[in-house]
Amino acid sequence: MTADGRPTLSRRALLVGGGLAGAGVAAAAALPGTGGAAPVDGTATGAVPFHGTHQQGIATPEQARLVFASFDVTGDRTALADLLGAWTAAAERLAAGQSLPGVADGFAPPADTGEALDLPASRLTITVGYGPGLFDDRFGLAGRRPAALVELPAFPGDALDPARSGGDLCVQACADDPQVAFHAVHALARMALGTAALRWMQLGFGRTAAPGAGATTPRNLLGFKDGTDNLVTTDAGALAAHVWVDDRSDQAWMTGGSYLVARRIRTHVEAWDRSTLGDQEATIGRVKTTGAPLGRRSERDPVELAAVDSSGVPRIPLDAHIRVAAPATNNGAALLRRGYSFADGVDPATGELDCGLFFICFQKDPTVQFIPIQQRLAHSDALSHYLLHTGSAVFACPPGTAPGRPWGYGLF
């Protein structure tokens, strides 16, 4: 059933038949080609259009669930180019709420793994990015490396796990149903056999409101609203200024793309939970219940960094997170944040929750946006005492696709 209660047939239509199998041998299931399936045009219920100037999953209103995967490329240049083309075609179908096509007789593996068969498109978006490693000497792409795609430097306090960091390719799958997002990564990983191997995967949840759209701002696992002053995804001017790579890029193939930085930020909730409400609010710079800047009434009240109380003390403390992270204190640099909370069980070393924020941000150039902002935060943000960065990666996300212009276009 779809979100509005109507049955969804597009996935089922691709894997009909069956039901005729005897012991150990399933009957051949006559599979229609694309002619028999719903059109791949983004019009299926709950589907986000796939092709476009920019990739979806960046300025797209944030879905409720995330499955993020990083891959190491093990194949050669040709295999990589073929994979990116095949991924594009598959992602277009998945985003439309369709299964992967293919002959599905009983004597071959099913073309589609099937766990999303009865589920609607669920606003699935699949966003692909290229890590710095893709531009080393393995694939002949060194000359295509953009200057902005640098390995992130070490930041003070980093505790990065190599098994949760880096990668040659990323796939960010976001959907309103976690099984749909998982299915997308599962399907692409299966197609990559022999060409790219999963390096790490991270699930996220709970960011259930679209920043800036007037909906309730979601809360992070510290209990605070998170994203109030994020870039507004409907503000084309802000996106052009801060997010989209323009034609002044040194690499023409990145025009219309964006750079993704992912940081797995574990939050020490046990220590945070023991701090006082006053300390928590001073650390963030906002009121916990309302999200208002300290000294103001409402969440959307402007953050006035110069405001002082009657004693002349700044209302927003000098080390408050919202001050240290603000564009006004970072030479105007802003990020489009698109993170998800995670909870990965218990840290066996400490018995504490291994939970926090899988921070994702998009930007025009990480060398003048994420990197200097994070250097400042790591040194000066009061919140950093409660955080541990355990994973890190950076990817160049190419522009959107079009028929005949798949992922990888302009690279090879």
Give the count of residues interacting with its own copies (CB under 8 A): 95
Span of 88-96, 246-254, 295-303, 371-379 interacting with its own copies by CB under 8 A: 295-303
* Subset of residues 148 to 167 that bind its own copies, contact rule: CB under 8 A: 163
Residues 239-258 touching its own copies, rule: CB under 8 A, are none
> CA-to-CA distance for 69 and 200, rounded, in angstroms?
6
Whole-number Å distance between alpha carbons of 57 and 261: 14
73 binding its own copies? (CB under 8 A): no
Q: Which residues from 364-403 bind its own copies, rule CB under 8 A?
A: none
3-state secondary structure 42-97: CCCCCCCCCCCCCCCCCCCCCCCEEEEEEEEECCCHHHHHHHHHHHHHHHHHHHCC
Signed CA dihedral, 288, 291, 293, 298: sign only: negative
Q: Minimal distance in Å, beta carbon 168 to its own copies?
A: 14
* 3-class secondary structure, 398: coil
Draw the binding track, 343-362, toward its own copies (x: CB under 8 A; -: no contact): xxxx-x--xxx-x-------
**How far is 338 from 299, CA to CA, in rounded Å?**
19
Task: Name residue 310's amino acid.
Answer: S
Which C-beta is closer to its own copies: that of 42 or that of 314?
Answer: 314
Q: Are 305 and 316 in contact (CB under 8 A)?
A: yes
Binding segment for its own copies among 148-156, 244-252, 255-263, 306-314 (CB under 8 A)?
306-314
Question: 194-223: which residues touch its own copies (CB under 8 A)?
Answer: 197-203, 205-206, 208, 215-216, 218-223
337 binds its own copies (CB under 8 A): no
SS (HEC) of 248-279: CCCCHHHCCCEEEEEEEEEECHHHHHHCCHHH
Q: Check residue 278 for interaction with its own copies (CB under 8 A).
A: yes
Residue 400 CB, nearest approach to its own copies (Å): 28
Q: Is 290 in the site for its own copies (CB under 8 A)?
A: yes
Are the C-beta atoms of 383 and 322 separated by less than 8 Å? no
Site for its own copies in 257-276 (CB under 8 A): 269-270, 273-276
Q: Which of 10, 21, 183, 2 is nearest to 91 (CA)?
A: 183
| Residue 85 is a binding residue for its own copies (CB under 8 A) | no
Q: Is 23 in the site for its own copies (CB under 8 A)?
A: yes
Judge contact between 125 and 173, C-beta under 8 A.
yes
Choose the binding region for its own copies from 51-59, 178-186, 248-256, 359-367 (rule: CB under 8 A): 178-186
Q: Give the residue, chosen from 296, 338, 364, 389, that forms a contact with its own copies under the rule CB under 8 A.
A: 296
> Which positions ≥6 away from 114 have C-beta within 8 Å?
15, 99
Kindly state the smallest distance separating residue 264's Cβ from its own copies, in Å.
11
108 binds its own copies (CB under 8 A): yes
Out of 42, 49, 85, 295, name the contact with its own copies by CB under 8 A. Answer: 295
Rounded Cα distance between 298 and 314, Å, is 18
- In terms of CB distance, is 265 or 316 closer to its own copies? 316
242: number of Cβ within 10 Å: 21
Rounded to the nearest whole angstrom, what is the least distance from the CB of residue 288 to its own copies in the complex?
6
